[in-house]
Chain A
Amino acid sequence: MNEKNLLKGNIAIAKAALECGCSCYFGYPITPQTDIGEYLSLEMQKRNLAYVCAESEIGAINMALGAASSGEKVMTSSSSCAVALMQETLSYAASDELPIVLVNVMRAGPGQGYIFPSQGDYNQATIGGGNGDYKTIVLSPSSIQECIDLTYKSFHLAQKYKNPTILLVDGLLGQMAEPAIITENPYPEIDNSNWRLDGAKNRTSRKIHSLEPNQNKLNKHILKLYQKYQIIEQNEPDWEEYLCNDAEIILTAFGTMARSVKAVCNFFREKGIKMGVYRPITLYPFPYKRLRELSINAKHIIDIEMNMGQMLRDVRLSVLSNSQISFIGKPVGDWLKKEEIINTINTIIKEQYASI
Chain B
Amino acid sequence: MIKNFIISGSGGQGILSIGTVLANIFMLGNKYVTYCPCYGAEMRGGAVNCEINMSDEELLTLQNEKADFVIALNQTSFDKFISKVKEGGTIIVNSSMAKIEKTRKDIKYIFAPFTQEAIKLGNIKIANSIALGVLSKILGNLTVENVKKAYEKILKNKKELIQKNLDAYLLGYDYIQEKEYA
Contacts and interface: CB of A to CB of B under 8 A. Distances in A.
Interface of A: 4, 6, 31-32, 115, 172, 175-179, 256, 259-260, 262-263, 266, 334-335, 337-339
Contacts of A177: 20, 23, 34-36
Contacts of B43: none
Interface string B55-71: 00001111111000000
A256 B59 CA distance: 11
A259 B64 CA distance: 13
Nearest to A170: B62
Contacts of A259: 59-62
Contacts of B36: 172, 175-177
Given A31-B39, A115-B39, A115-B40, A179 B62 contact: no
Contact of A178 (B33, B40, B64): B33
Interface of B: 20, 23-24, 27, 32-37, 39-40, 59-65, 153
Given A31-B39, A176-B35, A337 B23 contact: no
A260 B39 contact: no
Given A31-B39, A179-B27, A6 B62 contact: no
Contacts of B59: 178, 259
A186 to B, nearest CB: 22
Given A175-B37, A176-B36, 15 more contacts: A4-B27, A6-B24, A6-B35, A31-B39, A32-B39, A176-B35, A178-B59, A179-B27, A259-B60, A260-B60, A260-B61, A263-B60, A337-B64, A337-B65, A338-B61
Contacts of A176: 34-36, 62
Contact of B62 (A32, A115, A172, A266): A172
Contacts of B20: 6, 177
A335 B62 contact: yes
A176 B23 CA distance: 11
30 contacts: A6-B23, A6-B27, A6-B33, A32-B39, A115-B39, A172-B36, A172-B62, A172-B63, A175-B39, A176-B35, A176-B36, A176-B62, A177-B23, A177-B34, A177-B36, A178-B33, A178-B34, A178-B35, A179-B32, A179-B33, A259-B59, A259-B61, A259-B62, A260-B60, A260-B61, A262-B60, A334-B63, A335-B63, A337-B61, A338-B60
A15 to B, nearest CB: 16
A126 B64 CA distance: 30
B71 to A, nearest CB: 18
A9 to B, nearest CB: 11
A175 B40 CA distance: 11
Contacts of A266: 60
A4 B65 CA distance: 29
Nearest to B65: A337
Contacts of B62: 172, 176, 256, 259-260, 335
B55 to A, nearest CB: 11
Contacts of B23: 6, 177
A334 B62 CA distance: 10
A34 B6 CA distance: 25
A97 to B, nearest CB: 37
Contacts of B61: 259-260, 263, 337-338
Contacts of A179: 27, 32-33
